[in-house]
Structure 1
Amino acid sequence: MEFPAPNIETSSESEVEDTGDSTFYPSISDALTVRYLLQWKVVAGGIPPEIADMIIEAAEYWASTEVKIDHKIVVRQDADRELLRTVPLCHEKTSDGSLSKLLPHRLAHPCRKIVFNLDCHDQGWGGEPGCRGTYRGSHTWFNAEVVPLENEHEEVRKAGTKPGEPNFMANGNKLQSNLAATVETKHYTTTWHHLDAIEPGTPEAEEIEQAQGRGQATLDGRRVREMRPGDSISVWGRARFGGWANHVQGLSVRVFWAV
């Protein structure tokens, strides 16, 4: 039995986004239409929905939302601050910041991928001998954390971090470090994927941390797999010790989920 094609109304913002690049990002309507075509229009009599799911997953044909800032922000010693917070997973942007209706999604944990784009550098001087131009001894970095739906409307923590608090120093939970004592802006694209499975402490994780400046504890995909509808991603900029400064030229976060 063939089911009718989906008739999903979505806002123009969710259908067409100003992405700043030529990459095509499917809307919810696109994803549902492709699922229908795969299931009912490829083979006479249709194909099992599980096969359609496998094709869509392999193609990463997922809906997404993006939040970005394109103005300069400088985070100085111990003045850590939240730079950006994403739209709650499986919800739309609203003009007044309220939570929109829940959008179509699959499974209790529908998040599939999170892509962070950073343009940043530190103060360009200082640092420990032999560390300049590497991620060793870098005291400016970023953290990304999952904000559960039940905490979404809580007051944002005040800027600044004190000794003894989580993330006072860069650790395995960091999203990205800047190259130490390097004034040139560098672009980073960091992807968290639900299929990631690199455990911290392994040779592969240590190599990635040294070569790319990523935190080892963010390589196993757990944060993506555990996200629920309504959860958000919060990105913080951090700097430690006198003279160190985290210069943020641009930041965007795009969150993908299965429909």
Structure 2
Amino acid sequence: MISAAEKDARAVAAILASKLPAELVSEILDYAEYFGHQIIGINERPGRANAGWGLKYEEMGKEGGGYSDIIVYLIAQIPDFMALHKDTAGRGGLGGGRPGRVRKIVFRLGCRDQGWSNHPEVEMTYQWGRSRIDVEIWRKRETGAGGGDDGGEEADEMYKVGESLLQRNKVARADVLEYEVSWRWDQDKPEDDTEDVDLVGRHEKNGQFVRELRGGDEIRIFMKAFYSGWECRIERCEVECFWAI
């Protein structure tokens, strides 16, 4: 079923295409952000990852030094954009043979940490945050094709092709904070954006992540807590996908 937003975008594209070259139409629509879009995943049930106080000796060499908890909170799926012609699959827009390509991903979430800390120098900041939300891209393995990282029981069907920090929690803040993280395909994060992450707890730009997305991919949202006593709590999360028509 075609969304109302995509119908509107297609109507505008048809009008422009009657007067302008297809390549120029695609650029105009991208510049104006005239995209099809829809909510592709939502979870409004509170969730919690708790690193606890019990040392896991087999994980002592990993992040958290033996104390960690990682839980999938939400799985959203990119619409499965089908190619119109096999030799043009993936080109996107009116100039190619594919009726969709991801242009922007927006994450909206409410989350917090456990609300206390033994490090007053970083309280109420995003520095040293030991609870966070990460996001990964998982893709269905094509028959006879090799994949990326193994996914345990799902290794025969899905494999991980990308991952990123989504949002750190503010340290020692018991109130739920609302975040909207918006990544465009044409705005790349710098090689070192440590300052951004320390100030706002996330990557402000991440075009690399968006360009990796393909139709049918899964976006997996993870709650993560590391080191003894840390918790990551999510109250709600939704993912909205914007794509070129």
Task: Indicate whether the TM-score tops 0.5.
Answer: yes
Amino acid at match of 2:119: E
Distance 1:85 1:103, change over 3 A: farther
What residue is the counterpart of 1:73 in the other structure?
Answer: 47
What residue is the counterpart of 2:139 in the other structure?
Answer: 148
Query: Which 4+ stretches in 1 moved above 4 angstroms?
Result: 155-158
State the alpha-carbon separation in 2 of the partners of residues 122 and 226 from structure 1: 30
Alignment of 1:127-206 (within 5 A): 127-150=118-141, 173-201=164-192, 205-206=193-194
Structure 2 portions without partners, runs of 5+: 52-67, 85-91, 143-149, 154-162
Distance 1:175 1:131, change over 3 A: same
**Equivalent of 2:76, from 78, 81, 86?**
86
Answer yes or no: is 1:213 the counterpart of 2:201: yes
State the alpha-carbon separation in 1 of the partners of residues 219 and 188 from structure 2: 20
Contact 1:174 1:214 in 2 (8 A): yes
**Equivalent of 1:123, from 111, 114, 132?**
114
Identity %: 25
Distance 1:222 1:186, change over 3 A: same
Distance 1:207 1:231, change over 3 A: same
What residue is the counterpart of 2:88 in the other structure?
Answer: none
Contact 1:90 1:257 in 2 (8 A): no
The number of residue pairs the alignment matches comes to 202
User: What's the TM-score once normalised by structure 2's chain length?
Assistant: 0.73
What residue is the counterpart of 1:258 in the other structure?
Answer: 244
State the alpha-carbon separation in 2 of the partners of residues 103 and 70 from structure 1: 34
Shift of residue 65, structure 1, vs aligned partner: 2.8
State the alpha-carbon separation in 1 of the partners of residues 36 and 50 from structure 2: 36
Shift of residue 220, structure 1, vs aligned partner: 4.3
Distance 1:250 1:127, change over 3 A: farther
State the alpha-carbon separation in 2 of the partners of residues 32 and 89 from structure 1: 17
**Equivalent of 1:52, from 11, 22, 25?**
25
Shift of residue 143, structure 1, vs aligned partner: 0.7
State the alpha-carbon separation in 2 of the partners of residues 174 and 127 from structure 1: 24
User: What's the TM-score once normalised by structure 1's chain length?
Assistant: 0.70
**Equivalent of 1:34, from 2, 9, 12?**
12
What residue is the counterpart of 1:111 in the other structure?
Answer: 102
Q: Secondary structure at the residue paired with 2:178?
A: strand
Amino acid at match of 1:60: E
State the alpha-carbon separation in 1 of the partners of residues 123 and 180 from structure 2: 21
Q: Secondary structure at the residue paired with 1:80?
A: strand
State the alpha-carbon separation in 2 of the partners of residues 90 and 258 from structure 1: 13
Deviations 1:39-67 (A, max 9, x none): 22xxxxx2222222122111111112311
Structure 1 portions without partners, runs of 5+: 1-9, 16-25, 41-45, 92-101, 159-171
Amino acid at match of 2:218: S
What residue is the counterpart of 1:239 in the other structure?
Answer: 225
What residue is the counterpart of 1:61 in the other structure?
Answer: 34
Deviations 1:187-228 (A, max 9, x none): 111111111123222xxx23211111115xx84411211222
Amino acid at match of 1:251: C
State the alpha-carbon separation in 1 of the partners of residues 46 and 113 from structure 2: 13
State the alpha-carbon separation in 1 of the partners of residues 212 and 48 from structure 2: 32
Contact 1:194 1:224 in 2 (8 A): yes
